[in-house]
Amino acid sequence: MDTNWMARGNCATQPPDTFFPSDGVGVEIAKRICEGCPVQEPCLEYALRQRIDHGVWGGCSERQRRRILRARRLATAA
Ligand code: SF4
């Protein structure tokens, strides 16, 4: 899977720990950095396809990604 987009993300110059927060405040800080990121879509899709459980990817928290995956599973099953 293509990962060239990673170098173009808003997070490229941020400490990686920022995107693996331990509380809700940290999640919101990371999500704010993701806002307007030019590669938000491929980033989110990468995390979904790779089933990445931890961290903020594509502007979505772990919980949000689980919801998206669940909705996709339901849509596929329907
Ligand atoms: S969407 Fe967020 S985590 Fe993904 S590349 Fe952009 S800034 Fe980084």
The predicted pLDDT at position 39 comes to: 98
- The rounded Å distance from CA 76 to ligand 1 centre is 27
Q: Does this model's pTM top 0.75?
A: yes
- The rounded Å distance from CA 74 to ligand 1 centre is 27
Domain boundaries, the chain: 4-77
Over range 26-40, report the average pLDDT: 98
Phi/psi of residue 22, nearest 5 degrees? -105, -5
Distance, in Å, from the CA atom of 53 to the CA atom of 33, rounded to the nearest integer, reads 19
The pLDDT-based confidence of 47 (bands split at 50, 70, 90) is very high
CA neighbor of 19 nearest in space, from 65, 67, 72: 65
